[in-house]
Amino acid sequence: MHTWINGWVLFGFLGQAIFAARFIVQWIMSEKKRESYVPIAFWYLSICGGIVLLIYAIYKKDPVFMLGQASGLIVYVRNLMLIVNKKNSKRDENPYVPNPI
């Protein structure tokens, strides 16, 4: 077995896989809708992958990678907040709209 393969490297690859999966999900959903579409799962995968990659960057002590992942996480969380706030305001306007699960 190669000496460069260890638990941390596998953890980093896991983060990359989660992060890359968001584009596959977005592509599949866009094809289904026949238009460019960003599903909410895109943002959840962005956050999960970003957290894993940030942890890996901290382990590697790479400030460039840390800054990139930390700033990205702010954007992903904010986008998710905007989506949730929009859904909540629509529900407040129409009390007959069921709560999202």
Q: What pLDDT sits at residue 1?
A: 55
Q: Is residue 101 part of a domain?
A: no
Q: Is residue 2 part of a domain?
A: no
Domain boundaries, position 31 = 11-93
pTM: 0.81
Please state the domain count of the chain.
1
The rounded distance, in Å, linking the Cα atoms of 19 and 5 is 20
Q: Is residue 80 part of a domain?
A: yes
Q: Is residue 78 part of a domain?
A: yes
Per-residue model confidence as pLDDT tens digits over 63-84: 999 999 999 999 999 999 999 9
Q: 43: how many CB neighbours lie within 10 A of its CB?
A: 20
Q: Is residue 3 part of a domain?
A: no
Q: Is residue 58 part of a domain?
A: yes
Q: Is residue 1 part of a domain?
A: no
